[in-house]
Amino acid sequence: MANRKILVVDDERDMRIFVRTVVETSGFEATVASNGTEAIQKAGANPPALVILDVMMPEIDDGIQTYQHFRTDPVLSAIPIIILSAIARKTFLHSIKLLSPRHGIELPDPEAYMEKPPDAGELSRLIAKFSTSDQ
């Protein structure tokens, strides 16, 4: 059976509840994390089919560092990521390009990027699109 778990990472409780509701009404099982460290631990213990990741979290660049970790970890790098953030897509993409030379690899763009506040229908469509590939 296909992996039906989606990891939702956001420091804002209301946003975690909203996204979790969209995930569950889309027919998937949501696991939540309130910061990058928790997200990495949960994904490492039980890799999800998809990650929905906020960028602006309590630690400086926490979401960007979490994204970087997912993309450079041999086990987690294949998991699709939807970025859901209040910062502009262009700003995020610029930030990950700046990280690339430090690690000797170019970090790929996320599978999708949505600016907050998200549209529930569009988020549901992206969840269906990116969580169906075999992990």
Please state, in angstroms and as integers, the Cα–Cα distance from residue 22 to each residue in 38, 52, 68, 129, following that order. Answer: 21, 11, 25, 14
At what angle are helices 120-130 and 13-25 packed, to 10 degrees? 60
Is the per-residue pLDDT at 23 higher than 90?
Answer: yes
What pLDDT does 103 receive? 58
What are the extents of the domains in the chain?
A: 5-130
Quote the CA–CA distance of 110 and 119 in Å, as a whole number: 18
What's this model's pTM, rounded to 2 decimal places? Answer: 0.91
Q: Domain spanning 5-130 has what CATH number?
A: 3.40.50.2300
Tens digit of pLDDT for each residue in 51-100?
Answer: 999 998 876 558 888 999 999 999 999 999 999 999 899 988 888 887 76
Is the per-residue pLDDT at 41 higher than 90?
Answer: yes
Q: 55 and 26 in contact (C-beta within 8 Å)?
A: no
